[in-house]
Amino acid sequence: MKRCTQTTLDSLLCHGLPPELIALATAPLPTSHLFHEASWSADALDELELCHWGACPPFSQPEPADTMQEAQFTKNLTHVFFGQKVHLENQAKVHRECRYRSGARNEIITELLTIVMQGFREWVQLKDSIAGCTVRRHKEMATSLLQWHARIIYSYYHEAGMLEQGENPY
C-alpha cells in the first residue's frame, strides 16, 4: 500500500484494505459494564476525560504514575472510549438509514468513501505516531484510537460496497 499522501480511492478499491487494518477492525470490542453503559447512553457516565484522546499523539495529558490503579483507570478509560464511539456511530448509522430510505443512496456512497479515504490517511498517520508514545496511558489510548479508525474504515468501506451493489446495509 502506498503512503497515505499517495493513496487514492481507486487503489484502496482495487487492492482492498491492508491486512493490519482489517485485523484491528475485526478485533473484539470490550464487553465490560462500562463499555455497555457508554454505548447505550449519552449521559450515563462522565465522559469528560475522553475529549483529550480524539486526535493523534502526542497527547497533552500529563504523565501519570505507573501504578496498578493507573493501569485499571486506563483500561476503564479505553472501555468508555469505545462505548462512546459505538454510541455515536450507532446514531450516525440510523441517520444514514433515514437518508437511504429517502433516496440519498448515491450521496451516502460518496460520503462514506470520502470518510474511508480521510480515515485511512489519519490511520496511517496515527499508526506512525504511536511509536513516539512512551507513557502507557498515551500508548493504550493511541492504540484504541487506531483500532477505532480501522473499524470505521472497514465498516464504511463495506457499507459503501453494499450500497454500490444495490443492497441495503441497514
pLDDT digits (tens, 9 = 90+) for 100-135: 999 999 999 999 999 999 999 999 999 999 988 888
- Find the angle CA(48)-CA(130)-CA(159) to the nearest 5 degrees: 75
Residue 115 lies in a domain: yes
The total number of structural domains in the chain stands at: 1
> pLDDT digits over 160-170, tens only?
999 999 999 99
- pTM here is 0.85
Asked if residue 119 belongs to a domain, the reply is yes
Structural domain that includes position 102:
86-169
Name the stretches of the chain with pLDDT < 50: 1-7
Question: CA 76, CA 100: separation in Å to the nearest integer?
Answer: 36
Query: Could you tell me if residue 2 is inside a domain?
Result: no
Query: So what's the pLDDT on residue 63?
Result: 80
pLDDT at residue 92, rounded to an integer? 98
pLDDT score at 95:
98
